[in-house]
Amino acid sequence: MRKKLVALLLALTCLVSVLGGCSTGTETKTPTGTSAETDAPTAGTDAVEGTDGAEGNGEIAVDAFAGTTLTIAMSKNAADLSEDFNDKLIFQLAEEATGIHIDWIPVDPEVQEERVNIMLSSDMPDAFIKLLSEEQVGQEAESFYDLSEEGLLETYAPDVLAAYETVEGGLDMVRWSDGSIRSLVTGLATDYNGEPGPMWVINKTWLDQLGLDVPETAEEFYNVLKAFKENDMNGDGDATDEIPATFCNAYWAGNFMNYADAFGIPGYNQYSYSHYFMVQDGKVVPTVDTDNYRAFLEYFYKLGQEGLFDVEGFSQTTEQAKAKIKEGHAGVFMTYTASSYLNDSTFYQPDDYVPMRPFQGLEGVEPMKSGTKDRLAVDRTGFVVSADCENVEALLHWWNYIHSSTELKMIAYNGEQGGNWDITDDGTFVKNPENKLLPEGMTGTQYDYTYAIVNWPPFITKDELLVKLVPDDPNDQTLRVNNVTHVYDMMQDEYLPVRFTDPEKISERSFIEVDLFAYIENFTALSVANGVTDASWEQHLAQLEAYGYYDWIDWYQGFVDGEY
């Protein structure tokens, strides 16, 4: 792991806040491949200048806090096989450059709640990483350092600050209503062109056998499912065991509400409740009281009655759903990646399936795709400084070092260069298309968590995101990347703003949601199983009122309007 450490240190000890290169006037390539001239100090100089995005910063020597020891509690993923977080290359580089040593307190996710509560009520570490929720930070605000102190971030974390300025709202995404900043983010500015949510996939092998195209309308979808049902598509000699379309509410990326995309009712994430409203021209509008929603339920009731749709998806477990798909019975389903279900299937493999755009469920209604364009994929309480920290400046300086170049961020996020990532001759940062060479007995997930910090990377801006190279041969990643570009034009353009909400306001909303969500989920399932009548629909509208649906809509309108 340290085989490139010496070479990297020679390059990294002469960092300016955004890596330029050693000596003077060196020309480097930005992540987009364009040239950038920098005047970096030679290796061994004391000063590290601030970024262009943080003009007026004083010069802070990279080793200004050498000899400092800090304690940080961090969540340790079960797949992380490292014996000491300081074995990770990024932390070795940070200590070599800054002279700041971290005493890590690893926290097992299985006992995280208990361990965190103990720390919050006794001696706290200097910082928490990937351990605290927004609710905890809001409720225990005085336990955490207020980083809005004038000049603090500008002086000791200029590169962090500059990264925030690349996203809409900047520091407002971590600012509370009283103006305080109690945390900094970890994660990605966006998920590689967007996050399209659960993917619709259809068995292309079955379509080809029947000479059919991927359906684009409600009628075509019905006809395709009917053909799947009436033929022995999996060739097992039983023409009755095909399940034309299925889903699984127990699987986070497989729930039924994603089929509502076809009727112009998308969600902004994978959860059912995100389909219960939309933001249009700044207004929060209800969706589950509309004619479109009723038509959606009636259409899938018809499919279920004809054996074309697997109504058991409302109650089946993830393992039950996976078994149906792995055993070659399903034609259409929802998933995050096809391999989630098919990697060990003896019938079909991920490349037998193709992403499917939501069909047009109603004439005159444009289908839409659940998800979020350029989703801000960050944990806004990923890095939290304790109010008991006696050297906040050193802690911020250490955190800033990890953010001081794209190369360092990539080492933090993906491990050593040349493994999961590399830089092309034109300066583009890319994900390697080849399979990484894993240590004997180690899985890919274990590699990622052991040698990198993929569960809480430093804040990586949109322009710094790795370009994912797609191999010629179809595989799971190809399918996922293709799905992003395949449905990007169908995704919404308006979403909820990214900002903190005071805990008492969240509690007010949560009080409504407990019974409301249970009611809507139950009504949806019963309607698909038993049908919708005029009487049941009128009763539904009355129940929405009784369960506070419109109060819930009003709460979100206040949130969009910035009232709290």
Q: Do 162 and 51 fall into the same domain?
A: yes
In the predicted model, is pLDDT for residue 434 greater than 70? no
Q: Do 429 and 382 fall into the same domain?
A: yes
Residue 163's identity, in one-letter code, is: A
pLDDT for 43-96, tens place per residue?
222 323 333 333 333 489 999 999 999 999 999 999 999 999 999 999 999 999
Query: CA torsion 15→17→19→25, rounded to 10°?
Result: -80
pLDDT for 392: 98
pLDDT for 481: 53
385 domain residue, yes or no: yes
Per-residue 3-state assignment (H helix, E strand, C coil) for 472-504: CCCCHHHHHHHHHHHHHHHECCCCCCCCCCCHH
pTM of the full structure: 0.76
Q: Do 233 and 168 fall into the same domain?
A: no
CA 453 to each of CA 74, 222, 338, 484: distance values in angstroms, whole numbers, following the listed order:
11, 46, 25, 25
Give the pLDDT band (50/70/90) at residue 484.
low
Between 8 and 189, the more confident residue is 189
Q: Do 185 and 215 fall into the same domain?
A: no
In the predicted model, is pLDDT for residue 496 greater than 70? yes
Residue 358's identity, in one-letter code, is: P
What SS3 class is residue 254?
Answer: coil
pLDDT for 51: 35
pLDDT for 498: 87
141 domain residue, yes or no: yes
For residues 22-28, average pLDDT: 29
Phi and psi (nearest 5°) for 445?
Answer: -65, -40
Give the pLDDT band (50/70/90) at residue 162.
very high
Report angle CA 66, 127, 130 to the nearest 5 degrees.
125
For residues 254-274, average pLDDT: 94
Give the pLDDT band (50/70/90) at residue 482.
low
Last residue of a domain, one of 460, 486, 511: 460
Q: Do 13 and 114 fall into the same domain?
A: yes
Burial tier of 123 (Cβ tally within 10 Å: 0-12, 13-18, 19+): exposed
Please tell me the total count of domains within the chain.
Answer: 2
pLDDT for 420: 83
For residues 255-261, average pLDDT: 96
Here the CATH number for the domain that contains residue 72 is: 3.40.190.10
Q: Do 343 and 426 fall into the same domain?
A: no
Q: Do 353 and 394 fall into the same domain?
A: no
pLDDT for 499-531, tens place per residue?
899 889 999 999 999 999 999 999 999 999 999
Share of the chain above pLDDT 90, in %: 66
For residues 552-558, average pLDDT: 98
In the predicted model, is pLDDT for residue 384 greater than 80? yes
pLDDT for 177-228, tens place per residue?
999 999 999 998 876 445 667 889 999 999 999 999 999 999 999 999 999 9
* Window from 37-46, 77-86, 144-153 with minimum mean pLDDT: 37-46
465 domain residue, yes or no: no
116 domain residue, yes or no: yes
* Mean pLDDT, all residues of the chain: 85
470 domain residue, yes or no: no
483 domain residue, yes or no: no
Q: Do 208 and 141 fall into the same domain?
A: no
Q: Do 247 and 316 fall into the same domain?
A: yes
pLDDT for 469: 61
For residues 466-485, average pLDDT: 56
Q: Do 229 and 351 fall into the same domain?
A: yes
Last residue of a domain, one of 408, 436, 460: 460
Give the pLDDT band (50/70/90) at residue 344.
confident
Cβ atoms 360, 217 nearer than 8 A: yes
Last residue of a domain, one of 407, 439, 460: 460
391 domain residue, yes or no: yes
Residues of the domain holding 547? 199-370+495-560
Instruction: Using alpha carbons, select from 180, 273, 89, 186 the residue that is nearest to residue 459.
Output: 186
Find the farthest-apart pair of alpha carbons in the chain and give their distance in angstroms, rounded.
80
In the predicted model, is pLDDT for residue 391 greater than 90? yes
Between 58 and 141, the more confident residue is 141
pLDDT for 463: 87
488 domain residue, yes or no: no
For residues 274-289, average pLDDT: 97
Instruction: Using alpha carbons, select from 205, 206, 159 the residue that is nearest to residue 184.
Output: 159
Q: Do 305 and 188 fall into the same domain?
A: no
Both tokens assigned to 459: 């804040």
Q: Do 359 and 428 fall into the same domain?
A: no
